[in-house]
Structure 1
């Protein structure tokens, strides 16, 4: 067991170092937690999950089975952990909450015979779930406490054109999920989740309209423009970046490689980015170099591997950008999933402030002030 942990640590350090060797430098030890999918629907309820499993759908046994729209309990318990730890300036640990602005309006879509896409704002979705009505107020309380900073993840976490096409074909599994209020295909693929993948280049024009709409909803909801953006599944065409830049976005969050569409699902053109690289108009790229995803592999020591990756980031004068999706903190479907994620997050933050008392916790929209 000890040898396995050492091997895991070495692999984690080397993988992080490959990311950190190039790119801009920062002047301080900074930790960012970038967390995707807040506000998006996934598994609607435990009852729905049981029906997926009884039907024998792949999704019933995937990692997403425990993912769901965050409940009030989920948010409050997460905030309790974040507020326990403070940086060198006495500020709380902070999460960049990358938010989805809308979810499908299932009734209107069905009434159109699956020929038209309609959506509801995520704040309306909150009101339709049993333990979620006060979520927006709680989000804003977290923001005021400096522990939960919403940023833009898109309008839907859904490639709705693909979804509608499959529904129009009377696909049994997709309709089964639809009737339970979910956008799953029934399989373990990501084809419906990749909101800004395209099947033909003509789709880009519509994607720009969708992103502009998302930007408007974000501004109307929170009272400010998001300064950063993360594309669902790290998949987007460079042409959509101009809409982001024209609306106040300074940073694109992502991995080392941007997955540019080619017109074929799951076949992408990788575009390499380093931390602080800029595009032709000056928009900057923030690269995730640390990973903390307890729900994806429960047997892994995520605390140790993430600490090793943070060490590499600081050695190379990079921010420690921790990728940690919402699913890790959700107990609406399975409280054990949330308990594991929060326990590990608590241990991670405790060890960060012990090992690096000079650390600074920030959100992605604050990065500019720390560049050299």
Structure 2
């Protein structure tokens, strides 16, 4: 009861402040497109046999690089609806080049382009064309998530130091091995702009600049918004992205700021339309729809409640729905069951608010 009251209070506080509109706007923000995560089902099974507690992480159990089938199924779903929803697909523009990193004995880090990654996977020959098609049809709108979903300094340091679990995952071309499935305690590899390990120096300006211009090369336009992996970033990332041309930062209410001095994460509360010192404004997610993560939860009812709260406070409903909900390469039933639930949610939204407007994050940013 107390936990529920705290959650409700927090939702109201989040929605009470900042930019307002009487329009019923729904934005669906979906992270992690382009990133590998679990390479295939065989790798998942092999890691499980070798003692990795993969069942503790729903991402590892379900998430993989989007395939021809995944995108075709999603686009068919979107096109069939009377009112077409819009997915803001937040992209990583590279993955680690495992072969080259190994060739140089873990002394240097090398990124691999998305085209090179796609070429290594079966059933991915049409993926890039489908990305472009989705953007042209304006129901799958790309925005920038970064270069890799990877804390390079932490990962490379552990590879150099011979961390057995990290090396085993590396040999399977997997970098996103979650910290809760391994036996040796370590920091997250997923927080690309999290706390650094100074034994391996990284250059955020280089990483973000490459990501920004690779994104433009891939899609033919500049990304106006940016979402940092794991909602973790500091002022240095804001300054760099602002200079590149990013006007709005996607995130949740609690920004996770890495403190190198204190070796810990500091939380900062943001609200919709709040402006930072570099002139950027924050977009704050206020609805969660992540059915992959908990099969026992009533996600449709929960999300609908959060949407009602957002609209009560004259806020757009900004829904978090990661890529993992739309892919089925590891677990085909994951994609199928989640699309059914997504359909139910959209039907409920349109029944409750027939004047609903679906927007991409960059469209909402422009409106703000």
Pick the aligned partner of 1:143 from 135, 156, 161: 135
**Structure 2 residue runs without a partner (length 5+):** 181-185
Confirm or deny: 8 A CA contact 1:16 1:290 kept in the other structure: no
Change (3 A) 1:292 1:237: same
2:110 is matched with 118
Change (3 A) 1:190 1:318: farther
Residue 49 in 1 paired to residue 44 in 2?
yes
Which is worse superposed, 37-46 or 203-212? Answer: 203-212
Please, what TM-score do these two structures have when normalized by structure 2? 0.93
* TM-superposition CA deviations, 1:140-159 (whole Å, max 9, x none): 11111111001000000001
Change (3 A) 1:14 1:68: same
* TM-superposition CA deviations, 1:45-98 (whole Å, max 9, x none): 1110110110110235421221100111111111222223344xxxx2000000
2:323 is matched with 326
Residue 103 in 1 paired to residue 95 in 2?
yes
**Structure 1 residue runs without a partner (length 5+):** none
1:269 is matched with 266
1:346 is matched with 343
1:244 is matched with 241
Q: Count matched residues.
A: 362
Change (3 A) 1:22 1:117: same
Pick the aligned partner of 1:70 from 66, 70, 84: 66
The whole-number CA distance in structure 2 between the counterparts of 1:80 and 1:37 is 21
The whole-number CA distance in structure 1 between the counterparts of 2:147 and 2:82 is 33
Confirm or deny: 8 A CA contact 2:287 2:320 kept in the other structure: yes
Offset, 1:262: 1.1
The whole-number CA distance in structure 2 between the counterparts of 1:241 and 1:55 is 41
Q: Secondary structure at the match of 2:244?
A: coil
* TM-superposition CA deviations, 1:309-350 (whole Å, max 9, x none): 001111111110000111111100101111121111111111
1:30 is matched with 25
Change (3 A) 1:141 1:266: farther
The whole-number CA distance in structure 2 between the counterparts of 1:272 and 1:334 is 36
Change (3 A) 1:204 1:93: farther
Confirm or deny: 8 A CA contact 1:153 1:229 kept in the other structure: yes
The whole-number CA distance in structure 1 between the counterparts of 2:62 and 2:303 is 23
2:250 is matched with 253
Confirm or deny: 8 A CA contact 1:250 1:284 kept in the other structure: yes
The whole-number CA distance in structure 1 between the counterparts of 2:243 and 2:130 is 30
2:183 is matched with none
Offset, 1:190: 6.0
**Root mean square deviation of aligned Cα:** 2.3
The whole-number CA distance in structure 1 between the counterparts of 2:66 and 2:261 is 32
Q: Secondary structure at the match of 1:23?
A: coil
